[in-house]
């Protein structure tokens, strides 16, 4: 399967079978750390509604979901990268936003 930027890669049956061990959305996800999800609404491989479901399943003191209207799967535009850096800085307590 080709992917722009990554080149071709192989998806195997074993990969999908192992992935079943990591399914999380069938119940609550308890986290004590802050969570900040940034999701592009133009993301084709991972639809933004999946991020909404994830945010709803997380049980924790601080869960934030930012939907980026024109964001794609990579969130690699300069504006998207600034958002990502600001989110990490905020979670680290750097006082930056």
Domain containing residue 25: 2-92
> Residue 40: CB partners within 8 Å, gap ≥ 6?
48, 67, 68, 70, 71, 72, 73, 75, 80
Within a domain: residue 58?
yes
Provide the domain count of the chain: 1
What tokens does 82 get?
A: 């600034």
- Model-wide pTM > 0.85: no
pLDDT of 43: 96
Does position 96 have pLDDT exceeding 60, yes or no? no
pLDDT in tens, 9-21: 788 999 999 999 9
Within a domain: residue 97?
no
């Amino acid at each position: 399967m080709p992917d722009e930027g990554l080149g071709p890669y192989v998806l195997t049956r074993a990969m999908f079978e192992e992935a079943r061990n990591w399914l999380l959305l069938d119940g609550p996800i308890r986290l004590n750390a802050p969570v900040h999800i940034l999701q592009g609404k133009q993301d084709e491989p991972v639809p933004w509604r999946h991020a909404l479901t994830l945010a709803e399943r997380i049980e924790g003191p601080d869960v934030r979901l930012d939907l980026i209207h024109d964001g794609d799967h990579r969130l690699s535009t300069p504006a998207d990268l600034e958002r990502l850096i600001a989110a990490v800085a905020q979670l680290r307590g750097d006082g930056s936003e």
